[in-house]
């Protein structure tokens, strides 16, 4: 899914200028091209990219964050379904 958000480039550049090329999760230093913009609040919910709701993360940390979010959602759904029965 392609996201057309004009704020994305501005926010990413702001984060680079103010925090450098450091992953905000693991703290390791990377090249600019190795860091990705992560939406702390999912883009699907906010439909915009803001500085307060974004972070720069490396590929490994981004995959771990996304995997954890899916796991937490599955666990939430399982518990919620059990309670509703």
Which residue shows structure tokens 């940390």?
61
Helix (H, G, I), strand (E, B) or coil at 36: strand
Summarize pLDDT for 23-72 with one digit per residue, the tens.
999 999 999 999 999 988 777 777 788 888 899 999 999 988 877 777 77
**Residue closest to 43 by CA, chosen among 18, 79, 11:** 11
pTM of the model: 0.72
Cα distance between residue 50 and residue 29, in whole Å: 23
Helix (H, G, I), strand (E, B) or coil at 6: coil
Query: What is the reported pLDDT for 83?
Result: 65
Residue 3 pLDDT grade (very low, low, confident, very high; cuts 50, 70, 90): low
The third-level CATH classification (topology) of the domain covering 7-84 is 3.40.1800
Strand partners of residue 29: 22
Asked whether the beta carbons of 15 and 56 are under 8 A apart, the reply is: yes
């Amino acid at each position: 899914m392609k996201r057309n958000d004009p704020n994305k480039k501005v926010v990413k550049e702001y984060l680079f200028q103010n925090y450098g090329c450091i992953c905000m999760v693991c703290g390791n230093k990377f090249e600019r091209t190795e860091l990705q913009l992560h939406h702390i609040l999912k883009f699907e919910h906010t439909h915009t990219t803001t500085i307060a709701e974004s972070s720069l993360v490396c590929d490994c940390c981004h995959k771990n964050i996304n995997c954890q979010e899916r796991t937490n959602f599955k666990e939430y759904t399982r518990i919620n379904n059990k309670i509703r029965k």
